[in-house]
Amino acid sequence: MKYLSVLLFALALAGCTSATSGISIESSNQNVVIGNVSLARLVDIEKAMTGDANGLMKAAVPITSKAHSDLKLQYRFYWYDAQGLEVSGSDSPWRQFVLHGQDTVTLQGIARRPEAKQYRIYIREADD
């Protein structure tokens, strides 16, 4: 957890492109990519877990609020094969959730196809 917090902070200091609307995490190496520095200051992303659900890859990503108020957020998973290519039809719709102040939520997703061996999750602020 401390490793990801330090990584989030380092990436925030390095500056990020404005093309990404939030934060993304890659399963293969736990890299965190920050496109929204203000959001990165409000959340901690812990070590993601993977598993198997009837032959399909399952992902669980804990996210903790550092804010004292509620955050309205959205997340979306993308799934990739062993070579890192996106699995056809793998993108999921944006799912909205509320992260209460100082609380932890585990975001979960299950791949739609058995070829999926990696994932990337995007987290962004929800439009009101």
How many separate domains does the chain show? 1
Q: pTM of the entire structure?
A: 0.77
Q: What is the mean pLDDT of residues 88-101?
A: 89
Asked whether the beta carbons of 44 and 67 are under 8 A apart, the reply is no
Residue 101, pLDDT above cutoff 50: yes
Cα–Cα distances in angstroms (integers) from residue 35 to residues 14, 39, 40, 58, 85, in the given order: 11, 9, 8, 25, 22
- Domain of 77, CATH number, reads 2.60.40.3230
Q: Go through the chain and tell me how many residues it has.
A: 128
Cα–Cα distance for residue pair 84/95, rounded to 1 Å:
24
Nearest to 41 by CA among 63, 66, 21: 66
| 8-39 pLDDT, tens digit each | 433 343 343 333 468 887 777 766 777 888 99
Containing structural domain, residue 44: 2-125
> For residue 12, what is the enclosing H or E element?
helix 2-14
Secondary structure of residue 40 in the 3-state scheme: helix
Query: What is the amino acid identity at position 47?
Result: K
